[in-house]
Amino acid sequence: MNETTENMRDNSGAVVRPPIAWMLAVIAGIALDWLYPLPFLPAGVPTGWPGGILFLAGLALLIWAAMTFRRAGTQIQTTDPTTTIVDDGPYRFTRNPIYIGMFLGLIGLAVAFDSLWLIVLLVPFYLVIRYGVVAREEAYLERKFGDVYLAYKARVRRWL
């Protein structure tokens, strides 16, 4: 895609929709664990409820972030145009609470299933989100909102 087309597109041009990347990581991790289990927690350590709590914490953060977007009247989907910079709710603390929620959810499942595979798959999932989604979102928001986004970016961390 040339620069003119890039500047005319009114979305981030993310390489993948984040929920699809998340589901692929989960499915791959569970399949690998089924084929060749790799537990990482010591025997006797509870996994179900701590993993469930982490998963639910990630889900709660994701829902809070999505509701904040909806209240602001902007789109959640990476394929849709962003209409405003959202800087309240969880966006006061991190520019990417939805993705942090996804990371927490994946960690929660790894603990619940005691699966090192799910932990290992955090790495490619992070790389896809960081470079295939977030980097493109940041470039898009800089093009579209200029100084407003740059001020927000200077004020709020990318992750935590």
Q: Is residue 6 part of a domain?
A: no
Q: Which domain holds residue 111?
A: 15-39+48-155
Q: Is residue 83 part of a domain?
A: yes
Asked if 99 and 62 count as a contact pair (C-beta separation under 8 A), the reply is no
Read off the pLDDT band of 151 (50, 70, 90): very high
Alpha carbons 107 and 114: distance in angstroms, whole number = 10
Tens digits of per-residue pLDDT, 8-50?
A: 678 898 999 999 999 999 999 999 999 999 999 998 988 999 9
**Domains of the chain: total:** 1
Q: Is residue 68 part of a domain?
A: yes
Q: Is residue 1 part of a domain?
A: no
Asked if 125 and 93 count as a contact pair (C-beta separation under 8 A), the reply is no
Is 1 strand, coil or helix? coil
Answer whether residue 142 shows pLDDT above 70.
yes
Q: Is residue 62 part of a domain?
A: yes
Q: pTM (2 decimals)?
A: 0.91
pLDDT value, residue 30: 96
Asked if 28 and 63 count as a contact pair (C-beta separation under 8 A), the reply is no
Asked if 72 and 90 count as a contact pair (C-beta separation under 8 A), the reply is no
